[in-house]
Amino acid sequence: MSAKRLSQKTVAVHAGSRLVGSTSQPLVPAIHMSTVGWFDSSDELDGALDGKDYVYSRISAQNTSLLEESVAALEGAEACVSYASGMAALRAVFDAQNLKPGDRVVMPGDGYGVTRLLFKTLCARAGVELHPLVLSDSQAPERLVALAPKFVLAESITNPLLSVPDLRVLAKACRQVGAALAVDGTFPSPYGQRALSLGADYAIQSATKWLNGHSDALAGTVSGSRERLAPLRSMRLLAGDVLGPFEAWLTQRGLRTLPVRMKAHNEHAAHVARRLAESPLLERVYYPGLSSHPHHAVAREVLEGGFGPMVAFDIKGAGRPEGYRFLEALKLARPGPSLGDVCTLVMHAASASARRMTPEERAAAGIGESLIRVSVGLEDPEDIVEDLLAAVAQGVKR
Residues designated catalytic: 58, 112, 184, 209
| Spatial distance between the Cα atoms of 259 and 377, rounded to a whole number of angstroms | 14
| Spatial distance between the Cα atoms of 37 and 323, rounded to a whole number of angstroms | 52
| Spatial distance between the Cα atoms of 351 and 331, rounded to a whole number of angstroms | 21
| Spatial distance between the Cα atoms of 21 and 347, rounded to a whole number of angstroms | 53
Across-strand partners of 36?
Answer: 56
